[in-house]
């Protein structure tokens, strides 16, 4: 009877850490999409620069530059998102390991 309870307890811990794989996969996909977006915007900027040299459509060139400048902060935040996810998983494990850590009936 005791062994069955221990196995259930260990399986619940594995399921908590199993969410880490989904978080990592999501962050990798977001990183790839951001890289592709920067590549596409660079191509648009090169083409808009050629058009803007004629004096026409200078606003499109400026708009693409503004978009690239705004998106440069996103890769810096990926590290913070990873840190928050890891801290959340650690807290979930700690609250389940320590029996009195949960506040009930507050």
* More confident site: 85 or 57: 85
Average pLDDT along the chain: 74
Predicted TM-score of the model (pTM): 0.55
Give residue-wise pLDDT tens across range 45-57.
888 777 776 666 6
- Burial-class residue 30 by CB neighbours within 10 Å (0-12, 13-18, 19+): middle
**Pure H helices in the chain:** 2-52, 58-71, 74-97
Domain residue ranges in the chain:
17-97
Using an 8 Å Cβ cutoff, are 16 and 85 in contact?
A: no
Give residue-wise pLDDT tens across range 2-12.
566 556 655 55
| Angle in degrees, CA 29, 44, 57, rounded to 5 | 145
For 96, phi then psi, to 5°, come to: -85, -25
């Amino acid at each position: 009877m005791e062994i069955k309870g221990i196995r259930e307890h260990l399986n619940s811990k594995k399921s908590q850490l199993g969410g880490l794989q989904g978080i990592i996969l999501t962050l990798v996909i977001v990183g790839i999409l951001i890289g592709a977006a920067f590549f596409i915007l660079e191509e648009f900027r090169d083409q808009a620069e050629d058009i803007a040299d004629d004096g026409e459509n200078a606003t499109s060139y400026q708009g693409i530059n503004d978009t690239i400048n705004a998106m440069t902060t996103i890769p810096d935040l990926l590290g913070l998102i990873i840190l928050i996810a890891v801290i959340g998983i650690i807290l979930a494990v700690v609250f389940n390991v320590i029996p009195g850590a949960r506040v009930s009936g507050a």
